[in-house]
Amino acid sequence: MERLKEILNYTFNFTENISISIKGILFVLLVLIIISVLLKIVRRIVTRNLPKSDEKKFITVFSYGRWIVYLIFLLITLNAIGVNVTAVFAASAALLIGVGLALQTLFQDIISGIFILIDQTVHVGDIIEIDGKIGKVEEIKLRTTRAVTIDNKVLILPNHLYLTNSLYNWTQNGTITRESVEVGVAYGSDVQLVKKILLQVANNHPDVIPTPEPTVIFIDFGESSLNFRLVFTMNDSFKALFPKSDIRFEIDRLFRENNITIPFPQRDVHIFQK
């Protein structure tokens, strides 16, 4: 028994002001185990009646929040067993500052991830555009968002980009979106025929939905062409690249059949000889 007491009372001296015994270490471990069990019970109680999607989000946030709880109780416990917590902070201040600066971006990502989970800006399945990148959201974590591009490439977006860039959510109001294709025709072309052909192409494409109806906008008188925009509605904007390509092919074919020219920029070059 005396030998056991000696072992338990053996003290590790780190500095003049910081020391801890084996008994103190065991007490700290016991407190952390109890806190861990209590946190699991709290998590089960809170998530018991939550929907699956909200449960996953809560667990993600909770998994990071519990480390803050561990840290708080660790400091309280160390102070209770006589460890000079102030001296610990003083000894590790420079290290903590260095780590904080090194992990600055990581903290930004985590904070942004919490904002995303709380304010519901982005959901799994949404099509987003951020920093010129477009993808369908597959997974939202606290540090990163995982999306898949139209060519099936995985796009990993650090969450801090949501704070520093404009985010376009293509599907927050639903999967139906308005798309457009622009084309220019030569001066002197029959603009009513151009309008008719453009509407015909849109109405005949299987991926273009009839309501709202496609429309043609006469954009402007360009330097070398009369510019038009064909506006139509689709039910899957993520795959709009391919139907828009089909529409351009068909426009080109019908323009050729009806002798409508798509011009290219032309310049007159004058050479002066001295």
- Cβ distance 25 to 78 under 8 Å? no
**What's domain 114-169's architecture?**
Roll (2.30)
Which of 230, 235, 236 has the alpha carbon at shortest distance from 150?
236
b/e map of 137-153 (b: 16 or more CB within 10 Å)?
Answer: beebebbbbebeeeeee
Which of 224, 223, 240 has the alpha carbon at shortest distance from 232?
240
Q: pLDDT for 111-155, tens place per residue?
A: 777 777 666 778 788 888 887 788 888 887 777 888 888 878 888
Task: Answer yes or no: pTM beyond 0.75.
Answer: no
CA separation for the pair 96, 94 (Å, rounded): 5
Q: List the beta bridge partners of residue 215.
A: 231
**Where in the chain are all domains bearing CATH 3.30.70.100?**
177-257
Which of 236, 241, 235, 227 has the alpha carbon at shortest distance from 198?
227
Q: Answer whether residue 258 shows pLDDT above 90.
A: yes
Positive/negative CA dihedral, 219, 223, 226, 232:
negative
Query: 177-257 in CATH: which number?
Result: 3.30.70.100
- 4 is written with which tokens? 């056991």
**Where in the chain are all domains bearing CATH 2.30.30.60?**
114-169
More confident residue, 202 or 264: 202
Q: Answer whether residue 221 shows pLDDT above 90.
A: yes
Query: How would you class 228 by CB atoms within 10 Å of its CB: exposed for 0-12, middle for 13-18, buried for 19 or more?
Result: buried
Q: Answer whether residue 266 shows pLDDT above 80.
A: no
